[in-house]
Amino acid sequence: MVYTTGSQLGFNGCVATGSTTVNDISTKATLKGEALRSAILDVAATLFIERGTGGTSIQDIAEALGLSRTAVYYYFKNKEQIQQSLTEEVLSAARKLAGDTVARDDLDPVTALRALVTQHADLILSRPAEFRVADRTEADLSPKQRISVQNARRNVLENFSHVIERGIREGVFRMVDAHVAAFSLIGMCNWSAWWYKPEGRLDRANVAEIMADMAVNSLLREAARRPEVPDVRESLRLVREDLDYLEKLVLSDSK
């Protein structure tokens, strides 16, 4: 696989584009520190997706970057540690972002949901290869790693569900199954790891904003149906309005 420079990493590094060959530049000379570690992860992610973790060796990763195995071992002691970094780190970041947003008392449900979707989508759009690996190679993880990944995903789902449920209680979101709605919105974000192209017409901030708008607008109640004050009395007022309207329709049809 040929690895050329690309915008996924934010530096002149490594994005898969073809069949396997050694990079035609000295990666070792141009990449150092965290940049080289990121390059190793990006190349490993592409190879894991293409060949599976069982079909990828440290030697394969090193050759794709024009490095020696020793250089790769300097950053990762084995292939399993690379896989762990690719899966656990990005999902832990997603969990922290969602948890920090839900913990904020100053955000109303609409603002909180917009923030949840925007930051989750932006994280995926900025690290798509890692999300693809987490999605495709979970079966190859150790039991401990698999539990960690599943817990992170569950926590993100719970935070999305919590915000949606709060919006329903306060009358700003429609009556929906909060769990299903949360799954749907997270799925919309996750799928972007497969179709988003950094060199495309819109940058990732624009794409994340579009997804956040879609998420909020899919759940908002009509303006006239949102209670002025989210309490029982206001909800009863809306119910009485509905009953009065229904009565008029029934009486009108019976004449």
Each residue's pLDDT tens digit, 176-214: 899 999 999 999 999 998 899 888 899 999 999 999 999
Per-residue confidence at 21, pLDDT binned at 50, 70, 90?
very low
Q: How far is Cα 49 from Cα 47, in angstroms, rounded to an integer?
A: 5
The one-letter amino acid at 89: E
Q: How far is Cα 70 from Cα 91, in angstroms, rounded to an integer?
A: 28
Contact 44, 82 (CB under 8 A): yes
Structural domain range at position 210: 84-224
Looking at the chain, which runs of residues are DSSP E strands?
3-6, 11-16
Q: How far is Cα 136 from Cα 153, in angstroms, rounded to an integer?
A: 14
Q: What is the pTM of this model?
A: 0.70
Q: Is residue 245 part of a domain?
A: no
Q: Would you state the structure tokens that stand for residue 166, as one six-digit string?
A: 């709060």
Give per-residue pLDDT as tens, 40-52.
988 998 898 888 8
Q: Is residue 147 part of a domain?
A: yes
Q: How far is Cα 120 from Cα 118, in angstroms, rounded to an integer?
A: 6
Q: Is residue 158 part of a domain?
A: yes
- Structural domain tally of the chain? 1
CATH number, domain with residue 213: 1.10.357.10
Q: Is residue 111 part of a domain?
A: yes
Q: How far is Cα 113 from Cα 95, in angstroms, rounded to an integer?
A: 15
Q: How far apart are the first and last CA of the chain?
A: 76
pLDDT of 117: 97
